[in-house]
Amino acid sequence: MPHLASLLRPSFGFGAALRPRRPLLPSRLRFALLVMLGAYPLVAVLQLIIGPWVSTWPGVMRPLPIVPFMVFGMVYGVIPSIHRFAGGWIARGSHEAS
């Protein structure tokens, strides 16, 4: 007796067209590239603004006042903008791994 699944499978060659599509996963590479493109100008502007003020500080301490502004700018500015303006492009990135 044939298996139930084989009875329900179409036999006219269009099985691939009738199978449900696998959901798309966002492309991490595309998202990472856009985050880098957004982070660079943010860090550059912060360096221009805060850099002269901390120029006499030891090298390890110079990023200390920049990091909170950078994180705030990334979380509330750059990343939401990436999702708003390029979310569809990122989502079309790759198929689910099987």
In a domain, residue 63? The reply is yes
pLDDT digits (tens, 9 = 90+) for 25-52: 678 999 999 999 999 999 999 999 999 9
- Regarding pTM above 0.75, the answer is no
- Residue 26: the pLDDT is 73
d(CA 77, CA 94): 25
pLDDT at position 98 is: 46
- 7 within some domain: no
10 located within any domain: no
Question: Total domain count for the chain?
Answer: 1
Assigned domain for 81 exists: yes
Residue 15 lies in a domain: no
Residues spanned by the domain of 75 = 24-95
In which element (H, E) is residue 95 found? strand 94-95
Q: Does a structural domain hold residue 76?
A: yes
pLDDT tens digits, residue range 55-97?
999 999 999 999 999 999 999 999 999 999 999 899 887 655 5
Domain-located, residue 51 = yes
| HEC profile of 41-60 | HHHHHHHHHHCHHHCCCCCC
